Structure 1
Amino acid sequence: METDPPKRRRIQRSPSPTYKLDDEDDSYEPYVPVAQRRAAKLAKLSSLTSSSAREKAKRQLEELLAKEDAEQEEESRRERARKERTLLLEAQEVHSRKAAEDAKKTEIEKAEEVDAEILAAIASRRKLASDLELAKGISYSESLKTSWQPPKYIRDRTEEQHRRLREKYHIIVDGEDIPPPIEHFEDMKIPQQMLHFLRSKKIITPTPIQLQGIPTAFSGRDMIGIAFTGSGKTLAFCLPLIMMTLEEEVRLPFIRGEGPVGVVLCPSRELATQTYENVLAWTAALSKDGKYPRLNTLLCIGGISMGDQSHVLNKGLHIVVATPGRLIDMLEKKRFTFNNCKFLCMDEADRMIDLGFEDDVRNIMSFFKRQRQTLLFSATMPRKIQDFAQQSLVRPVLVNVGRAGAANLDVLQVVEYVKQEAKMVYLLECLQKTAPPVIIFSDNKNEVDDIQEYLLLKGVEAVAIHGSKTQEERQYAIKAFKSGAKDVMVASGVASKGLDFNDIQHVIIFSMPKEIEDYVHQIGRTGRSGKTGIATTFVNMNTPEQTLLDLKYLLIEAGQKVPPFLQTIEDPRISQNGSFRGCPVCGGLGHGVSNCPKLEDVQRRQMASQRAVHDGGGGY
């Protein structure tokens, strides 16, 4: 059966628009040239019959024509001026206006504006996070959860009681839900084996950084710890790591290929070795009576054979103490992984996350596969680095004992003006001030070798350490000096960061470093653990005035004697009310950002690395 084709429906279209082609609008007035308008007015004038009317109209017409001519001439003049005006003239006018405004500003205001521009330029740094977290936009809002909590009687204290206790020990804290300070190791719930070992080393009560820092780290909180040199920072971050690792091992023992639980990053091989030896001693003390299992710790630094530690890698790995370069190499070779690593501490953190080391730290971060607890410790951490670090941590707690970058008050600082050619002779006189051991610092490697050779010729038992020496030479120098076989160590800045030598009574700074941070670290090799010491510094006309100004303010802040030649140096930044602010990049009190030696050094390194890449350098 055939079906009829469907009928087409007529689609109703909207009417087409109509366009008005002819000008039918009566209100429209076509343009009439000036000449035609004048001719029409003259014709109208001639049509007037009355002579008086014609005369009056003629005058009106002449006035109107004169007005039109004047307007046309003015418009032509403005048009010519617009054509003659150039961008250069406009720029000159803007510059002259700016110069007039600048003339009204003081020198201090100008310097502050320059500093603000530089700070804005270096402020756009990505936060410290792994590449995976940055790519996926992963961020954490809660700290790591731990099983530790303070004793009940401490939890029951009021916030006012906590505040008074912090004031008693000059502890400054900042952050949310800050864990309470604890005055005794026993109340921190530390195993008895560890307590006995600490007592054997005459560590009876916690120092201020330990008093607040250890409970903060036990609570799983990210932390920025700042305290002067020799204040016990190493125990403050190693003890929480050991306790966290011990808990993991007791819950389920590690087997080959598993771990580590935590890593401690250090800027130098010597500091990493010292931290490693401390961790070995503390873990050995815990497992001494067999109640707790032995924890395996790996030292991961350049200059040593990792094959010598194969026995550690062949078992479950708990803790790694490392320098950045060798650690990256081991991770890339997959000798171990950070798949289950949940603790990261950076000692001398301002150096580790400084512009020169930031890429290495980011590279290490990229190997983490889970949230971690991050601790940053240093004696010198400028405000700029603190702000950057807080952006990278999860609900961080800032624990500050004294001003960041301030000198240790247990060190007597003596600054003496010594001519360059007289330094060597005067050095022998300074060595007579105290009994050995003594450390002598110089930033110049060749000068380090010259000083050692001179002292050996004079019959002084001296060793030398700097970055160009082999790892074996560096280890021998530190071992001989620590054991007392050598009386004097001549060192570059490599020995100034965090190294702990027993009973150093005297530090001599042969050449004053440009960066005041380095000076603070160098004098901090003495006056440690509550003992006193002397630091003698040689300065002369070769020392930059800006460095001397930093030194002057540091002496004033520490209540030390300021020699007359330093008192005569004036600070151009001081306003009429006598106030001044330190550099937010390096913490120096005697200069601003615009002339910061640390920033200049960083920029110089960056330019050198860019040149190496451009020239095809940087290979293996």
Structure 2
Amino acid sequence: MSSKSRKRSGEKDESSSDEEYVPYIPIKQRKKMQIQEAEKRLGKVKPKEEEKSESSDAPEEEDTGPKAHVSLLDQHSELKKKAQVRKETAREKMLKEEQKILESVAENKALMGVAELAKGIQYEDPIKTGWTPPKYILHKSEHKHEELRKKHHILVEGEDLPPPIKSFKEMKFPRAILNAMKHKGITKPTPIQIQGIPAVLLGRDMIGIAFTGSGKTMVFILPIIMFSLEQEKRLPFIDGEGPYGLIICPSRELAKQTSELISHYCKALSAEGFPELKCGLCIGGVPINDQLSIIKRGVHIVVATPGRLMLMLDKKMMTLDVCRYLVMDEADRMIDLGFEEDVRTIFSYFKGQRQTLLFSATMPKKIQNFARSALVKPVTVNVGRAGAASQNIIQEVEYVKQEAKICYILECLQKTSPPVLVFAERKQDVDAIHEYLLLKGVEAVAIHGGKDQEERSRSVEQFKKFEKDVLVATDVASKGLDFPEIQHVINYDMPEDIENYVHRIGRTGRCGNTGIATTFINKAVEESVLLDLKHLLIEAKQKVPPFLANMESENEKFLDIGGEVGCSYCGGLGHRITDCPKLEALQTKQAQGIGRRDYLATGSADY
């Protein structure tokens, strides 16, 4: 082939290759072109805006996106704001849902007597007393009072707040009382006493919340003694008269301890020449005739458990005609134990206005709100969060298998010197631990609701007098009992709710002393209780074991979006009201009890 023909064929090849070459067009653009061609054929005319946008379309601009001119930092801020709005709406939705649940379980009946409700009687002003604070304290500015409260971490709510007073002498107690307190090693008031005692002496209704071992009992004992003394001096009590003051406790042991404490100060006053004050104890498990004989001789103060008190009021063995002072110690525990109706009935026996005081270490908002219906312009004194554990307790949580727990108790007893308190949830476990310790040569005693009162009292007495080294008990020993020398509390099992845990470990680390609380846990414990325990340890700045630290709750997720801490029903820190095991148990119990109340005899073990 000649060069000429080759050239021609080459030219043909080049031209043919040029004709065959088609530039790549993305799928999106090809589809648009097909649509445009179809519209041209159909004779459709497009709006100018679309034509303009199409003419500006280009593959490279398409890839850059609409925010090509906005910096990444600004884009991040915008996305963060949108996420925050979404979280805020989730938080609001959850709060509304929780509020509905709380309202649905809220008690509609007021904590008042039937006669008062029927007649529409409402007391507008607190009771007036003859006590006034020293003039120089009254002349101090509110700013100075607030400084003292801040110094002692005292939170106060209410109208016309009473001033805090930082010494018993300034509270105007007689020398006999001051000496009796010194004899017990009490020289200066604790934070709850600094604010609480002046409030009570001024006749104010009060809700007192402070951690275990903080001296709450003294807040209501000292004023009731002074009020009774004032009444006795004005007009001596005659046979069958009284009481002037009534103290209700959830357990027999706590009632007995409170009665003994009152008697200690009454005897100190009598020894100094003051009129004799009489205190009666009304608890179950003890012959009623012995208690009745004391009341018939005239009594100034009565300490009682709800069951026995109800029986005596119902049988007209005792009246509350002249009673003007009512205390509910461990108030929330009484309502939890099912004494709520009994308490409402007790209120109906009062013949006039009374000063009402409620005290506890664990008092959720639902109990506070419910109790306010019975109080007149109440003062709420709070030292620390309601339900918080004392900072003086070293909390140790250990994973122990179920079968190894009873043997491990012996090892735990080596941590401190006696006396030691061991708690178990069930009566049979208490008996088993007690028997095991006795076999191992440990001086131990045991108490629970199945034992008779005489044996229970003797066991507590021996333990308090250091005749026995270990006390094994159910939760009957966890509420308010004062064992000042206890350095160690062992929880053989984790209680069913965190409030009982707080009360249990509160038997140590009292009055400013340091104590240790060892708790055995394993897979048998419910997750919700473990989460509450984890958050309680974090709050008290305690060591959290790895198996607890790895657990995460819905509450933690809620906190990330600005939610409030804990359950608004029971006060537990590790769950919300939507997952509250206590509320669930209550609803189950109510469902099971529908229709039974009229057919089954109801009552209390304290009768």
* Range of TM-score over shorter length: 0.7 to 0.9
Amino acid at match of 1:603: Q
Unaligned 5+ segments in structure 1 are 1-102
SS at match of 1:613: coil
Post-superposition offset of 1:611: 5.4
SS at match of 2:519: strand
- In the other structure, the counterpart of 1:597 is 581
- In the other structure, the counterpart of 1:212 is 195
**Structure 1, 387-396 or 519-528: larger mean CA deviation:** 387-396
Q: Within 2, Cα distance between the matches of 1:618 and 1:238?
A: 32
Q: Within 2, Cα distance between the matches of 1:469 and 1:603?
A: 31
Is 1:362–2:363 an aligned residue pair? Answer: no
Q: Is the 8 A contact 1:267 1:352 kept in 2?
A: yes
Q: Within 1, Cα distance between the matches of 2:412 and 2:361?
A: 27
Is 1:161–2:170 an aligned residue pair? Answer: no
Post-superposition offset of 1:420: 0.9
SS at match of 1:187: coil
Q: Within 1, Cα distance between the matches of 2:289 and 2:280?
A: 11
Compared with structure 1, are the counterparts of its residues 619 and 497 closer, same or farther at alpha carbon in structure 2 (3 Å cutoff)? closer
SS at match of 2:162: coil
Amino acid at match of 1:584: S
How is 1:163-562 mapped onto 2 (pairs within 5 angstroms)? 163-290=146-273, 292-354=274-336, 356-562=338-544
Q: Within 1, Cα distance between the matches of 2:237 and 2:600?
A: 45
Q: Is the 8 A contact 2:532 2:574 kept in 1?
A: yes
SS at match of 1:407: coil
* Number of residue equivalences: 517
Compared with structure 1, are the counterparts of its residues 110 and 453 closer, same or farther at alpha carbon in structure 2 (3 Å cutoff)? farther
**Structure 1, 217-226 or 418-427: larger mean CA deviation:** 418-427
Q: Within 1, Cα distance between the matches of 2:362 and 2:515?
A: 20
Post-superposition offset of 1:383: 1.2
SS at match of 1:188: coil
- In the other structure, the counterpart of 1:587 is 571
Amino acid at match of 1:373: Q
CA deviation map 1:558-588 (0-9, x unaligned)? 1111111111001123234464521122110
SS at match of 1:186: coil
Post-superposition offset of 1:598: 2.4
CA deviation map 1:86-116 (0-9, x unaligned)? xxxxxxxxxxxxxxxxx99987666545433
Amino acid at match of 1:592: R
Post-superposition offset of 1:468: 1.2
Q: Is the 8 A contact 2:91 2:562 kept in 1?
A: no
Amino acid at match of 1:583: C
Compared with structure 1, are the counterparts of its residues 295 and 104 closer, same or farther at alpha carbon in structure 2 (3 Å cutoff)? closer
| Normalised TM-score (structure 1) | 0.81
| Cα RMSD, aligned residues only | 1.9
| Normalised TM-score (structure 2) | 0.82
Compared with structure 1, are the counterparts of its residues 109 and 152 closer, same or farther at alpha carbon in structure 2 (3 Å cutoff)? closer
Bigger Rg, which one: 1
Is 1:606–2:590 an aligned residue pair? Answer: yes
Q: Within 2, Cα distance between the matches of 1:159 and 1:369?
A: 37
Q: Within 2, Cα distance between the matches of 1:149 and 1:440?
A: 45
**Structure 1, 605-614 or 483-492: larger mean CA deviation:** 605-614
Amino acid at match of 2:388: A
Amino acid at match of 2:541: G
Q: Within 1, Cα distance between the matches of 2:322 and 2:296?
A: 17
Q: Within 2, Cα distance between the matches of 1:282 and 1:619?
A: 34
**Structure 1, 582-591 or 513-522: larger mean CA deviation:** 582-591
SS at match of 1:353: helix
Amino acid at match of 1:550: D
Q: Is the 8 A contact 1:356 1:606 kept in 2?
A: no
- In the other structure, the counterpart of 1:97 is none
SS at match of 2:403: helix
Compared with structure 1, are the counterparts of its residues 549 and 109 closer, same or farther at alpha carbon in structure 2 (3 Å cutoff)? farther
Post-superposition offset of 1:353: 3.4
Q: Within 1, Cα distance between the matches of 2:476 and 2:492?
A: 15
Q: Is the 8 A contact 1:356 1:605 kept in 2?
A: no
Compared with structure 1, are the counterparts of its residues 205 and 327 closer, same or farther at alpha carbon in structure 2 (3 Å cutoff)? same
Compared with structure 1, are the counterparts of its residues 421 and 378 closer, same or farther at alpha carbon in structure 2 (3 Å cutoff)? same
Amino acid at match of 1:194: I
- 2:127 alignment partner, one of 125, 144, 147: 144
Amino acid at match of 2:571: G
Compared with structure 1, are the counterparts of its residues 526 and 609 closer, same or farther at alpha carbon in structure 2 (3 Å cutoff)? same
Compared with structure 1, are the counterparts of its residues 298 and 569 closer, same or farther at alpha carbon in structure 2 (3 Å cutoff)? same
Report % sequence identity.
Answer: 58
Q: Is the 8 A contact 2:420 2:486 kept in 1?
A: yes
Post-superposition offset of 1:384: 1.4
- In the other structure, the counterpart of 2:21 is none
Post-superposition offset of 1:595: 2.6
Amino acid at match of 1:122: V
Post-superposition offset of 1:452: 0.8
SS at match of 2:554: coil
Q: Is the 8 A contact 2:484 2:511 kept in 1?
A: no
Q: Within 1, Cα distance between the matches of 2:536 and 2:391?
A: 11
Q: Is the 8 A contact 2:126 2:376 kept in 1?
A: yes
CA deviation map 1:317-343 (0-9, x unaligned)? 110000011001111111221111100
Q: Within 1, Cα distance between the matches of 2:358 and 2:315?
A: 27
Q: Within 2, Cα distance between the matches of 1:108 and 1:513?
A: 31
Q: Is the 8 A contact 2:88 2:561 kept in 1?
A: no
SS at match of 1:239: helix
Unaligned 5+ segments in structure 2 are 1-85
Q: Within 1, Cα distance between the matches of 2:350 and 2:603?
A: 27
Q: Within 2, Cα distance between the matches of 1:480 and 1:355?
A: 28
